[in-house]
A and B are shown apart, each in its own frame.
Chain A
Amino acid sequence: MDAIFLQILNGLDKGGAYALIALGLTLVFGTLGVVNFAHGALFMLGSFCAVTLNRLFNLSFVRVSETEKDFLGNPLKEQVPYLQEWFGPQVSGFLLEWSVPLSILLAIIVMAAVGVIMERGLIKHFYKRPHADQILVTFGLAIVLQEIVRHYFGANPIPQSAPAIFAGAADVGSWVGLGENVYYPWWRLIYFLFSAVVIFGVFAFLQFTTFGMVVRAGMQDRETVGLLGINIQRRFTIVFGLAAAVAGIAGAMYTPILPPDYHMGMDFLVLSFVVVVVGGMGSLSGAVLAGFLLGILQSIASMNEIKSILPGIDQIIIYLVAVIVLLTLPRGLMGRKGVMEE
């Protein structure tokens, strides 16, 4: 029972990441009709916002130490962060420790800008082109983005730590009346809550604002909304920026769980597309539901008891579920009629 509970928690935070990426994918697909294979790269770029902010806080000047030696026996060239020099060790220490949560602010600005530039500079030229063209160009863009990141940040994962206050694991067993030794990392719980808040925020934005209402109307019938004199194109650009920002902040917050590297976008992208297809193309709630569902199923399938009966099931469970869902519900769990059915 303890093991199942822990695997469900695992599934929830993994599902949170899947759901956030799938949410952005669906948002872009549902509004603009664009299949964006660069969406995983946006998740990766977001995580590198955290790395960049950390490096900005660490920008240093060199001071030669009189007493210490480097690994070659020469006088040690100490790197002294400007922040430490200007504001003292306490302030700079605080900023460094909180660089991951703070990077959300950077990620929102940077990723929204990246999204807008991407939509205006590239995507808008492909609205009327076949999905195959959109896939090719966005996949190419994803490769270009990841190679740029690799060039500047290297191929090795770059660990980012969560604030010390969230270090260690929570005694979740005692919360739900289970036995001892049922612990779960604080930061993963935070990530799950964070993803739930972001998902709720996006839904609320689309549901309860005039902007959201127009976008939803545009999703149903772009031409009619345009005929009403609404500049739907500008709103779609903003939606693309919003989708990029959602992927970006999801990536930034994920860095203490998985040290960012240039390839992480591709790793998540394939899974997220499966999530979107299972949830139903164009359905926001379907994407979220499928994200959590597949995350939990994947985690439960990795339990030793299940793998001893069905070896390797954890590797294929997501694809197996996709096959079963598509055979029984060809539009996915909550797919809309007419989407990709022409």
Chain B
Amino acid sequence: MSKKFIINRRSVLKYGGVASAALATPYFFTRGALAQSENYRNAPKGGTVTFGFNVPQTGAYADEGADELRAYELAVEHINAGGGGMLDTFSSSALRDAGGGVNGKKVEFVTGDTQTKSDAARASAKRMIENDGAIMITGGSSSGVAIAVQGLCQEAGVIFMAGLTHSNDTTGKDKRANGFRHFFNTEMTGAALAPVLKNNYGTDRKAYHLTADYTWGWSQEESIKKYTEQLGWETVAAVRTPLGAGDFSQYITPVLNSGADVLVLNHYGKDMVNSLTQAVQFGLRDKQVNGKNFEIVVPLYSRLMAQGAGENVKGIFGSTNWHWSLQDEASQAFVKSFGEKYGFPPSQAAHTCYCQAILYADACQRAGTFRPSAVGAALEDFEFDGLGNGPVLYRGDDHQCFKDILVVKGKENPSSKFDLLEVVEVTPRAQVEYPAELLGGELGPYNDGEA
């Protein structure tokens, strides 16, 4: 005859304690085992792990794409060697301590051509995930592409480490748990650039915007309008132009007698090269309007674009994520390793992509797994230094990096064909920070792509 089961305070405490211990024990002992579980998308099986580099090899941003690919290849070299370039200056020593590779696996990579088109970018990312077993996708040189591929990676259950994407929406209304961005955004550009514009051009200006007609252009136009109108500037008109328009003359002619005294070119890559060149050809920089010198502003600059636009960039202000002329130890280490390998200095696109590859590999090493949710947790609120932008925070709330922003100007007397931009101000991180909820969107849960 069994003893009668009596519930009293003593038995609740006794059995409750035993049950709690029993429940907690497996988790305590298997926490590492769970993380190492291979029940997630493209868990690497052999001695290698595959990264997917999805960059524009054709289209309006092809030059940026080529530089991104160079940087990724350099990053893979450094990760596999356990040192070199900025891996030596990076504040996290996880990869260096590992002595090469990530989680004991050597890194291999596959590449794809986004063609600077969202559908082509999604197709090549899908191929890399489904056919090549890529554990992580990184790259892109267009916010439209980044947002499209980020959505795909979320659905597929792999991490997306955004390359060059500047639209607020990437870590704003379109943010996803599986997506992370090292590059800055238009909100930060507006906050950093406006004070410099005020100091140089005053508070009484009339601006005319020409804007690339897709998410990045809209985002930049909105941010620059917001911050310049706060200064007292009036926006005369904001005209959208198709991506890759080539000849912008039909859009530039109306600027001539619009009453505007500033032209803001919300263009990038080949489009910026063409629109700026043509604006200068139309004599805009030699004009006087409203008693002031007519000015042109290019809010997002890159050395590659400056090279394409040649002499036309002289004296024109803009912002950039990083520039090769920075003298800190990390930037110099990167310039040296990149320059020795390729014979010219890296662009900001190359820098951010190199950083993203290193940051991902480091997070995997620290997490002890490639499982997206664990890697994401290792990146969230991660503070680091030694990657060329000073101290940086990977904010957990929106997966956006926060760092100092560079305001640059086209150099009047360049000493070489690479020495085209000069840093006129380093805007402190505190000045460009904003609450995560400002840009809307929801991260949602991680997707590990579990079978």
Instruction: Give the interface of A toward B (CB within 8 A).
Output: 2-3, 6-7, 10, 13-14, 68, 70-72, 76, 150, 154-157, 159, 161, 168-169, 179, 181-185, 187-188, 256-259, 261, 263-264, 267, 298-299, 302-304, 307, 314-315
Measured CA separation A270–B405 after assembly (Å): 43
Known A3-B253, A181-B256; contact A304-B283, beta-carbon cutoff 8 A? no
Contacts of A179 in B (CB 8 A): 257
Contacts of B257 in A (CB 8 A): 2-3, 179, 181-182
Contacts of B324 in A (CB 8 A): 71
Measured CA separation A3–B254 after assembly (Å): 6
Contacts of B254 in A (CB 8 A): 3, 303-304
Cβ-defined contact, B66 with A155, below 8 A: yes
Cβ-defined contact, A169 with B277, below 8 A: no
Known A156-B63, A161-B310, A181-B256; contact A168-B283, beta-carbon cutoff 8 A? yes
Measured CA separation A298–B253 after assembly (Å): 13
Chain B, 108-158, CB within 8 A of any chain A CB: none
Chain B residues bordering chain A, tally (CB within 8 A): 43
* 14 sampled A-B residue pairs with Cβ under 8 A: A3-B254, A6-B256, A72-B339, A76-B416, A155-B63, A161-B310, A169-B282, A182-B256, A183-B282, A183-B287, A187-B281, A258-B246, A264-B246, A304-B254
Contacts of B188 in A (CB 8 A): none
Q: Does B286 contact A (CB under 8 A)?
A: yes
Measured CA separation A150–B65 after assembly (Å): 14
Contacts of B277 in A (CB 8 A): 159, 259
Measured CA separation A68–B282 after assembly (Å): 37
Which residue from B63, B253, B281, B286 sits with its C-beta under 8 Å from A154? B63
Contacts of A3 in B (CB 8 A): 253-254, 257
Contacts of A314 in B (CB 8 A): 250
Contacts of B416 in A (CB 8 A): 70-71, 76
Measured CA separation A156–B271 after assembly (Å): 11
Contacts of B172 in A (CB 8 A): none
Known A168-B283, A185-B281, A188-B281; contact A72-B336, beta-carbon cutoff 8 A? yes
Contacts of A161 in B (CB 8 A): 310
Given contacts A7-B250, A157-B274, A185-B282, 18 further A-B contacts (CB under 8 A): A6-B253, A71-B419, A72-B335, A76-B416, A150-B58, A155-B57, A155-B63, A156-B270, A159-B309, A169-B282, A179-B257, A183-B283, A185-B281, A187-B281, A259-B308, A267-B246, A304-B254, A307-B239
Contacts of B390 in A (CB 8 A): none
Measured CA separation A268–B433 after assembly (Å): 45
Chain B, 42-72, CB within 8 A of any chain A CB: 57-58, 62-63, 66
Cβ-defined contact, A258 with B274, below 8 A: yes
Instruction: Give the interface of B toward A (CB within 8 A).
Output: 57-58, 62-63, 66, 237, 239, 242, 246-247, 249-251, 253-254, 256-257, 270, 273-274, 277-278, 281-283, 286-287, 289, 304, 308-310, 324, 335-336, 339-340, 344-345, 415-416, 418-419
A271 to chain B, nearest CB (A): 11
Contacts of A156 in B (CB 8 A): 62-63, 270, 304, 308
Contacts of A76 in B (CB 8 A): 416
B437 to chain A, nearest CB (A): 32
Measured CA separation A256–B249 after assembly (Å): 13
Known A155-B63, A157-B274, A261-B270; contact A71-B283, beta-carbon cutoff 8 A? no
A59 to chain B, nearest CB (A): 16
**Closest 8 pairs between A and B when the two form their complex, measured CB to CB:** A169-B283, A155-B62, A156-B63, A302-B250, A185-B281, A6-B253, A299-B250, A183-B283
Residue among B246, B253, B289, B344 with the highest chain A CB neighbour number at 10 A: B253
Nearest residue, chain B, Cβ from A6: B253
Measured CA separation A169–B280 after assembly (Å): 9
Contacts of B246 in A (CB 8 A): 258, 264, 267
Cβ-defined contact, B335 with A71, below 8 A: yes
Cβ-defined contact, B274 with A10, below 8 A: no
Known A3-B254, A71-B324, A168-B283; contact A259-B273, beta-carbon cutoff 8 A? yes
Which residue from B283, B308, B419 sits with its C-beta under 8 Å from A185? B283
Cβ-defined contact, B308 with A159, below 8 A: yes
B429 to chain A, nearest CB (A): 27
Measured CA separation A298–B247 after assembly (Å): 12
Contacts of B239 in A (CB 8 A): 304, 307
Measured CA separation A212–B286 after assembly (Å): 48
A8 to chain B, nearest CB (A): 10
B110 to chain A, nearest CB (A): 20
Measured CA separation A184–B63 after assembly (Å): 31
B227 to chain A, nearest CB (A): 24
Contacts of B286 in A (CB 8 A): 168-169
Cβ-defined contact, A257 with B283, below 8 A: no
Cβ-defined contact, B287 with A181, below 8 A: yes
Measured CA separation A261–B239 after assembly (Å): 25
B324 to chain A, nearest CB (A): 7
Contacts of B250 in A (CB 8 A): 7, 10, 14, 298-299, 302, 314
Measured CA separation A76–B416 after assembly (Å): 10
Measured CA separation A150–B239 after assembly (Å): 32
A193 to chain B, nearest CB (A): 16
Nearest residue, chain B, Cβ from A257: B247
Which residue from A10, A181, A303, A315 sits with its C-beta under 8 Å from B249? A10
Nearest residue, chain A, Cβ from B259: A181
Known A154-B63, A259-B308; contact A302-B251, beta-carbon cutoff 8 A? yes
Contacts of A10 in B (CB 8 A): 249-250, 253
Contacts of A71 in B (CB 8 A): 324, 335, 339, 344-345, 416, 418-419
B287 to chain A, nearest CB (A): 7
Contacts of A150 in B (CB 8 A): 58
Contacts of B256 in A (CB 8 A): 2, 6, 181-183
Measured CA separation A263–B416 after assembly (Å): 28
Known A155-B62, A156-B62, A157-B273; contact A169-B281, beta-carbon cutoff 8 A? yes
Contacts of B251 in A (CB 8 A): 302
Cβ-defined contact, A7 with B57, below 8 A: no
Measured CA separation A157–B275 after assembly (Å): 12
A80 to chain B, nearest CB (A): 14
Measured CA separation A7–B251 after assembly (Å): 9
Residue among B239, B256, B335, B345 with the highest chain A CB neighbour number at 10 A: B256
B323 to chain A, nearest CB (A): 12
Contacts of B63 in A (CB 8 A): 154-156
Contacts of B336 in A (CB 8 A): 72
Contacts of B335 in A (CB 8 A): 71-72
B68 to chain A, nearest CB (A): 13
A334 to chain B, nearest CB (A): 26
Nearest residue, chain A, Cβ from B325: A71
